[in-house]
């Protein structure tokens, strides 16, 4: 047995230089005919990597970029572990070192090239994960984690692959597969059937591989990618190797730039998909071993080769795609990855499906199988290409949306159904059949035939398997050259096929063996059929961008499903706008083509792709997922789960149990609903319809729009926009700087942030703001209530109602005829312009009045209260104790309490009314009228006029309060000797002696001496004169009208 690479070779029936199946010099140049594209990374050789982006007419690429979308916008393979079984990797290469993880190497095994001539593994590694670093080339999954298991020599390795190779044996390498997420195998066996199950030395590898798909990735299954081989020129078939026909491997064929199968690519029914291998000589640009040891030995410094090829190049492309898929959806099982790759692969090569248009190296026509779940019908399949050329963007989009878990444990299995014929003779130029009756119904994924075969010339044989649906799969066709089956040890074969994907297993399967060349014969015996699949009732109807190409096929525009189960229409791989309705009988549109749902169809779920899609549910419990784009999702009746994905999505929520799922930073999303609702996380907008009246926001910046009902709209932490229409609405912005618009009706707003804005329009009701912070009413809002610890509140030009709380509030009505209530606390209340009513409540309140028509209301025992008046005339309300005049010549009236009334610098008139009042005129020519009670009157500066009433009043004279002469002296009326007093104690009788000296009273003199007070009667008045210094001049006089005598006891000297 010889192990070989499957890349960088001249394809030839015989071995080439160095013992490979080829081995031609891969070239040292940078390639020819390369189209330079202005997109993607700045790595200098990216533009030459046509498999990533190819702008040349009539040529293909892997579709990483489409319609402005790039798979790299979202996924780069980060966190996915990719191992290579190869001849080693130059992990010091600047494109590979950043992604290489030495901790993942097998203990004691160096992943570097052990052989001086080896460079194959470095080229393979670069296709998968060359770092996007503005150096060299770039890999498909350029942030995936790499590790090398060097088990394949640079030159031929004779043996069985179990003994130690250059660094690690295949057996030990296989045993470590489970440590990785993806394992790339760009190698193969020279001898056909060498690794078949009958070879006892290979049984250990078989068992190990089974363990990998059963237990790898914590039971999800390792992704094993295998090059199909380069044996087309030798008439090889993937059936000749267990590693390309196993349930667990993804066999990859190679195509050239134009999408046609490469001349060397091994054919077979177990090929799953194709990728670029290039022609001979090669043209795939990738990393090369550094220095003079790689393929490109002539040019040191670039460290790339432009001549790599073979299925060795195609397989790592699929490994890179698998890494992107696993990053997009880490829960994918290994069977899921296989199905998704198959479902998104695109038709390539010959256009004809009847064999008439075969081109180039093609040997097989494209055909349709009997499934009904792909683009309205069956899958296309060819033994040259598998299901077609890999489409990276489509595969990743479908992987994102995939909800199944196709693991080893979850598989459905039809195992070992024996043929109805025990043994049949294969006579010369004859056709024989063997049939298998399958009772179980599962959805087919892979089919295998175990067959005992004896024939003296294998290439005489064509072996076909026909399904109950009539699909014919070519398991072998004149393959393996002029050899006896026993020459290869091909006694017990396992022939696998992917061609029946999506068909149903039940019915009669037919194995047809045709000897088509004269001269040899044999026998077939012990045939058994096995099928791996899944539950047939849970259907996924997949649509791709090929639907428009093939929608004209029979039945593809009508979808029927009546077998129960949980079913889905999945158009995640479609990038145009889709219309998908799950309502029975509805008409939809995918990829620009209409389709209909049968009248009796019952499908639960729908998924769309990157377009601006419309998804509508039915009466079942639906799961609608919009993917990217600005989608509209309407679950209809039933309890639905709605997932908009990236884009500005619109949800119609009409059932209480409906669930909306959005992730952060996926657009500005809107729910429209006739239900009371709490916005889920990451949904920004809601519009209430119908009978809905209540909505609560999320922590995002929400826009919440009410309806004509009496809405209750409540925000949370974000900067929200709340608006309603008719109805008496309640709007609470919550935290954040919110804008609230109630519309018509008597609306109530709750404010808690200094940035909150309340907007109302004229004539739209009597509206109330309840505020947790100091707040000023916006235009057209009538009422303000302060809550908890909010301190200050102001109105507007309307007739406002302002209500404080238990703290000391400052309330200002501004314009309008306001009604202001302070409640508890020491409040300051200003009515502003307008005829205002102010009620302080308990506490020592201060009122600021501007008009005599303002009303101040206090309750008995509700605190010591003050009116600060700017009105021309104002009278204290009952139970208000204090007044201050603040604006010019004003008049103030007290009440029956012990008032304190204070004037200003102008000529004020203060009337104490009842009670023992204290009146202070301050500056100006004031009139102070004590009224009833024992009052204290202090006119302050200026010539003041005092009117003493009932009770023992005291007139207080301070420095500068009164002057000399008629026009400057204070005048006192209704002074009663022996009851009222004049208080001069604030004046110092002798400034030359320390302290405040008392005056001496000398009645009957008009010229008192220093420190003396004299009094004389002039007409009907008594003039009191005071000498404040040691000269003869009189500094202060008082005139007491209607008084004819006074004594020292009438003074406080």
Question: Do 86 and 287 meet the contact criterion of CB atoms below 8 Å apart?
Answer: no
Matching residue, tokens 């049949």: 424
Residue closest to 666 by CA, chosen among 682, 655, 681: 682
Backbone angles phi and psi of 935, in degrees to 5: -105, 155
Q: Give 65's strand partners.
A: 70
Distance CA 223, CA 215 (A): 11
Q: What are phi and psi of 685, to 5 degrees?
A: -125, 150
| Residue pointed to by tokens 């003041």 | 944
Torsion angle, alpha carbons of 926, 931, 935, 937, to 10: 10
**At residue 811, what are phi and psi to the nearest 5 degrees?**
-115, 130
Active site residue 725: no
State how far the Cα of 176 lies from the Cα of 889, in Å rounded to an integer.
101
Query: For residue 97, which phi and psi values (nearest 5 degrees)?
Result: -55, -40
- Report d(CA 558, CA 155) in Å as an integer: 56
Residues 6+ apart with CB under 8 A from 896: 878, 913, 914, 915
Q: What is the β-pairing status of strands 659-661 and 641-643?
A: parallel
- 79 with 145: CB under 8 angstroms? yes
Measure the CA–CA gap between 223 and 77, rounded to whole angstroms: 14
Separation of alpha carbons 310 and 885, rounded Å: 102
Which two structure tokens, joined as six digits, stand for 813? 């009505």
DSSP state letter for 143: T
The catalytic position among 120, 142, 347, 455 is 120
Closest by CA position to 7, among listed 102, 134, 127: 127
Q: Which one of the listed residues 48, 234, 270, 312 is annotated catalytic?
A: 312
Task: Give the span between the Cα atoms of 369 and 500, in whole angstroms.
Answer: 6
Active site residue 347: no
Bin 720: left if φ > 0, else alpha if -120 < ψ < 50, else beta.
Answer: beta
Alpha-carbon span 475 to 983, nearest angstrom: 129
Least Cα distance to 344 among 405, 404, 388 occurs for: 388
> In terms of residues, how long is the chain?
1053
DSSP class per residue in 666-693: S---EEEESS-EEPPTT--EEEE-TT--
Q: Give the number of other CB atoms < 10 A from CB of residue 996.
A: 12
Q: What is the dihedral of CA 155, 157, 163, 165, to 10 degrees?
A: 0
Q: Out of 43, 61, 86, 160, pick the active-site residue.
A: 86
Tokens of 669: 């999303």
Q: Is 389 helix (H, G, I), strand (E, B) or coil?
A: strand
Work out the number of other CB atoms within 10 angstroms of the CB of residue 963. Answer: 17
Q: Is the bond leading into 247 cis (omega within 30 degrees of zero)?
A: no
d(CA 219, CA 1003) in angstroms, rounded, equals 120
Q: Are 241 and 229 in contact (CB under 8 A)?
A: yes
Residue 226's DSSP bridge partners are: 185, 251
Helix axes 120-129, 311-328, angle to 10 degrees: 30
Cα–Cα distance measured from residue 7 to residue 152, given in angstroms and rounded to the nearest whole number: 13
CB 682 within 8 A of CB 659: no
Give kind and range of the element (H or E) at residue 338.
helix 334-344
Question: What gap in Å lies between CA 155 and CA 20, rounded to an integer?
Answer: 7
Whole-number Å distance between alpha carbons of 954 and 854: 31
Cβ neighbours, 10 Å, residue 716: 19
- Residues forming the active site: 86, 120, 312
């Amino acid at each position: 047995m010889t192990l070989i690479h499957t890349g960088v070779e001249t394809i030839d029936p015989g071995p080439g230089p160095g013992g490979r199946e080829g081995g031609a010099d891969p070239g040292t140049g940078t390639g020819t005919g390369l189209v330079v594209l202005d997109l993607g990374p700045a790595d200098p050789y990216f533009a030459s990597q046509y498999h990533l982006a190819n702008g040349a007419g009539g040529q293909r690429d892997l579709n990483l970029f489409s319609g402005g979308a790039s798979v790299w916008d979202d996924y780069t393979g980060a966190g996915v572990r990719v191992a290579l079984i190869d001849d080693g990797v130059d992990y010091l290469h600047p494109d590979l070192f950043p992604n290489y993880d030495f901790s993942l190497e097998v203990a004691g095994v160096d992943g570097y090239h052990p052989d001086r001539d080896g460079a194959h593994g470095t080229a393979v590694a670069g296709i998968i994960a060359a770092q996007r670093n503005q150096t060299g080339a770039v890999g498909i999954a350029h942030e995936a984690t790499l590790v090398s298991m060097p088990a394949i020599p640079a030159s031929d390795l004779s043996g069985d692959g179990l003994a130690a190779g250059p660094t690690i044996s295949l057996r030990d390498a296989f045993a470590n597969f489970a440590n990785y997420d993806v394992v790339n195998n760009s190698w193969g066996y020279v001898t056909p059937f060498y690794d078949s199950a009958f070879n006892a030395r290979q049984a250990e590898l078989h068992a190990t591989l089974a363990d990998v798909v059963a237990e790898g990735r914590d039971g999800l299954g390792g992704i094993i990618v295998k090059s199909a081989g380069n044996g087309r020129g030798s008439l090889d078939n993937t059936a000749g190797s267990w590693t390309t026909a196993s349930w667990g491997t993804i066999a990859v064929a190679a195509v050239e730039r134009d999408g046609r199968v490469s001349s060397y690519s091994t054919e077979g029914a177990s090929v799953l998909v194709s990728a670029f291998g290039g022609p001979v000589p090669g043209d795939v640009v990738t990393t090369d071993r550094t220095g003079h040891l790689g393929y490109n030995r002539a040019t040191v410094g670039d460290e790339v080769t432009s001549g790599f090829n073979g299925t060795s190049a195609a397989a790592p492309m699929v490994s890179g795609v698998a890494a992107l898929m696993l990053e997009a959806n880490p829960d994918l099982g290994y069977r899921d990855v296989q199905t998704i790759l198959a479902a998104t692969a695109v038709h390539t090569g010959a256009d004809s499906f009847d064999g008439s248009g075969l081109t180039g190296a093609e040997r097989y026509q494209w055909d349709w199988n009997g499934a009904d779940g792909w683009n309205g019908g069956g899958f296309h399949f060819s033994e040259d290409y598998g299901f077609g050329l890999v489409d990276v963007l489509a595969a990743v989009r479908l992987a994102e949306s995939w909800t199944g878990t196709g693991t080893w444990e979850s598989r459905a299995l039809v195992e070992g159904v024996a043929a109805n014929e025990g043994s049949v003779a294969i006579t010369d130029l004859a056709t024989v059949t063997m049939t298998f009756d399958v009772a179980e119904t599962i959805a087919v994924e892979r089919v295998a035939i175990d067959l005992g075969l004896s024939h003296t010339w294998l290439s005489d044989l064509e072996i076909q398997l026909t399904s109950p649906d009539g699909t014919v799969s070519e398991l072998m066709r004149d393959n393996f050259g002029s050899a006896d089956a026993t020459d290869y040890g091909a006694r017990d074969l396992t022939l696998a096929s992917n061609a029946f994907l999506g068909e149903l297993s039940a019915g009669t399967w037919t194995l047809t063996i045709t000897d088509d060349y004269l001269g040899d014969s044999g026998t077939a015996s012990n045939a058994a059929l096995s099928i791996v699949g899944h539950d047939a009732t849970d259907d996924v109807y997949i649509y791709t961008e090929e639907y428009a190409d093939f929608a004209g096929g029979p039945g593809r525009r009508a979808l029927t499903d009546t077998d129960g189960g949980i079913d889905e229409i999945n158009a995640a791989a479609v990038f145009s706008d889709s219309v998908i309705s799950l309502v029975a009988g509805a008409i939809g549109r995918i990829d620009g083509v209409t389709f209909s749902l049968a009248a009796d169809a019952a499908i639960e779920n729908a998924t769309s792709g990157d377009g601006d899609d419309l998804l509508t549910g039915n009466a079942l419990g639906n799961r609608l997922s919009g993917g990217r784009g600005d989608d509209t999702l309407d679950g209809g009746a039933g309890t639905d789960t709605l997932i908009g994905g990236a884009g500005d999505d619109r949800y119609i929520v009409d059932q209480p149990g409906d669930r909306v799922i959005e992730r952060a930073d996926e657009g500005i999303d809107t729910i429209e609903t006739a239900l009371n609702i709490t916005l889920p996380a990451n949904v920004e907008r809601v519009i209430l319809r119908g009978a809905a009246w209540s909505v609560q926001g999320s922590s995002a910046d929400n826009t919440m729009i009410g309806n004509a009902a009496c809405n209750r709209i409540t925000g949370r932490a974000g900067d929200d926009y709340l608006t309603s229409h008719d109805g008496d609405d309640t709007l609470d912005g919550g935290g954040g700087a919110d804008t609230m618009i109630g519309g018509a009706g008597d609306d109530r707003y709750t404010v808690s942030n200094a940035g909150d804005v309340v907007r109302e329009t004229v004539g739209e009701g009597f509206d109330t703001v309840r505020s947790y912070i100091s707040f000023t009413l916006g235009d057209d809002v009538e009422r303000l209530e302060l809550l908890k610890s909010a301190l200050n509140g102001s109105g507007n030009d309307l007739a406002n109602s302002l209500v404080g709380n238990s703290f000391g509030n400052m309330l200002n009505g501004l314009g309008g005829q306001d009604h202001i209530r302070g409640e508890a606390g020491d409040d300051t209340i200003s009515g502003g312009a307008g005829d205002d009513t102010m009620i302080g409540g308990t506490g020592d309140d201060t009122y600021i009045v501007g008009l005599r028509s303002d009303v101040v209301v206090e309750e008995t025992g509700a605190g010591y209260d003050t009116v600060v008046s700017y009105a021309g005339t104002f009278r204290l309300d009952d139970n208000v104790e204090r007044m201050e005049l603040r604006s010019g010549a004003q008049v103030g009236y007290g009440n029956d309490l012990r008032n304190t009334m204070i004037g200003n610098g102008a000529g004020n008139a203060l009337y104490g009314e009842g009670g023992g009042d204290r009146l202070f005129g301050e500056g100006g020519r004031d009139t102070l009228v004590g009224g009833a009670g024992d009052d204290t009157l202090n006119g302050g500066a200026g010539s003041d006029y005092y009117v003493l009433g009932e009770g023992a009043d005291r007139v207080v004279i301070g420095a500068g309060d009164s002057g000399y002469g008629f026009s400057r002296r204070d005048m006192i009326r209704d002074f009663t000797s022996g009851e009222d007093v004049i208080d001069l104690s604030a004046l110092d009788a002798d400034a030359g002696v320390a302290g405040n000296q008392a005056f001496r009273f000398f009645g009957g003199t008009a010229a008192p001496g220093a420190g003396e007070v004299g009094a004389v009667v002039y007409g009907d008045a008594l003039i009191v004169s005071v000498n404040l210094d040691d000269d003869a001049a009189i500094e202060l006089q008082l005139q007491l009208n209607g008084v004819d005598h006074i004594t020292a006891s009438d003074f406080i000297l």
